[in-house]
Amino acid sequence: WWPIDTCAPLGNGHIHGTWLVTGGQGRGVLQQISTAVFRDPAALMARVAAVLAHLGRQVRHTTILLPELLPTRRGAAWHAAADGTHWRLWTYIGEARTLETLSTPEQAEAAGRAFEQLQAALADANLPAPDPIPGFMQLDHYLGCLDAAAAAAAMPSSRERKLLRGIHARRDLAGSFSQREQVIHGDCKVNNLLFAHGSTTEVRAVLDLDTVMRGHWAWDAGDLVRSAAAGPNGFALDRFAGVVRGLRASARIDAGPE
């Protein structure tokens, strides 16, 4: 890449190391890929490159910007260093900010619309195998882990027994959303959106394409509802309704009555 003059930590991500860098060709977002989470960086970057290439051909579906990967001097999408670390450099999208929490139903609707547009643009994407993180977002996998933990527990507390009864009573719902019929974002947190400066409802960009995979639209919807509507003060029904309106903006998703 081009020579870097300044480097400063960026964002509140928990997976990759991320820095805002500046140099002779402007600003970029430098990331050290977490091999603790993504064990095969080459496979990860092949999927990310395929996602970006597909989205580049689907501009008619969305007005949402996406960051671009800047090639290394050898023309590669990422760099494997001699010390075993793995790096990539993204374009920096300016005049925007991330929000850790949402405060209005209008923001929630904008978030739902942005992720729905991304799902629409990815509808016919052909992604290389395997999944970026085995078992990730797959409820049957998590229920299996829960069963194993419950069986190994010496004496569950009364609160734990109550929670387990509630889960088992609704276990049949897992089958209703197990189909992997479409491509989803896979990490629909509100801080994976960039909102325009000076606006609380204009989404400029969708970030973090590492977990794009085949799944069910409800996996994205549930994660977004948790991120947008749940909080320390309880569950905000108005923000939940905003998410639903955003996800249903194109009438491609039938979420039922609000």
Q: Is there a cis peptide before residue 130, judged by omega within 30 degrees of 0? A: yes
- Residue 16: what pLDDT? 96
Q: Which residues of the chain have pLDDT under 50?
A: 255-258
54-89 pLDDT, tens digit each: 988 876 556 778 889 999 999 999 999 999 999 999
State which amino acid sits at residue 64.
I
Residue 75, CA distances (Å) to 70, 72, 79, 88 in order? 9, 5, 10, 12
In what helix (H) or strand (E) does residue 90 lie, and over which residues does it extend? strand 86-91
What is the signed CA dihedral for 85, 88, 94, 96, rounded to 10 degrees?
Answer: -70
Residue 19: predicted pLDDT: 96
> Which CA distances in Å does 16 have to 29, 47, 49, 132?
11, 17, 17, 14
